Amino acid sequence: MAFLAWLRKMTPGLWRNPLMQERHQLLTFLRNTYLDESKDVLNFTQHAEQIYYPHVRERLLKIVNEEQSHVQWLEKKIRFLGGEIPEPSPALTRGMNTWENLRRDVEEEKKDDSEFLKGIRLAERLDREIAEGLTRLRAEEQKHREELLSLLQKSEPDAVPLSPPQPEDAERKKLIWLAQQKATWLEQRQSLWEAEGKPISWAEWISRREYEWKANELPNRELHWARQLALQTATGTLVPRVSEKL
């Protein structure tokens, strides 16, 4: 914050003023909140791209858009107070599958609410518009936490009842279905790789895709198969047909 450092140097007595000290504290709070929100946008965006189910992906991307509006609002208020925009950390968090990513997202949203309330009270003494904006931001953060928790609970592997061991025919159908899923997925990803001009070698590309399939895509599809199997078993159909698009 070069401007504030220069101002502090040129007017040392002014910075002993309680009002200026509170203004500096508010700016520090806004900068820290800006970094938190920016990190959420990066992580949530990456996690949404890895989600297999479209409706879950769309809900997470809606949260991303709202978090991005928070970042833009915070940037304006930081500049208004004469501060510099901090550089967000590029570090991303990635779990082994969708459930793990959502669990991490919920943890990210569990921010210290008492500190946020302190920031709002501080703003109330200095700038009513900023205080009202922070109050709205806090309410949306609480809503996002509830939405992410709902998505997590619906995606949790333990939420799916474990089915009893299946006969060899059922396991064979599952393996055939997974092979079909993988082939379709690889074909789609290969089309993107070719459209981008094949930026990496085939050996490196296929190695990355194999890791991606095992780490994220395969667990999602196995979970989907288990859910459909439990549903169809309950309704009298013992095994999902391979030809069905689960």
Does position 10 have pLDDT exceeding 50, yes or no?
no
Average confidence score pLDDT of the chain: 76
Pairwise pLDDT comparison (20 vs 236), residue with the higher score: 20
Q: How confident is the model at residue 233 (pLDDT cuts 50, 70, 90)?
A: low
**Helix axes of 128-155 and 98-109: crossing angle, nearest 10 degrees:** 150
In this structure, which long-range contacts are made by residues 134-141, counting pairs with CB atoms below 8 Å and at least 24 apart in sequence? 137/33, 137/70, 137/73, 138/113, 140/66, 140/70, 141/109, 141/111, 141/116
Both tokens of 211, joined, read 């890791």
The domains of the chain, with CATH numbers, are: 2-157 (1.20.1260.10), 163-234 (no CATH)
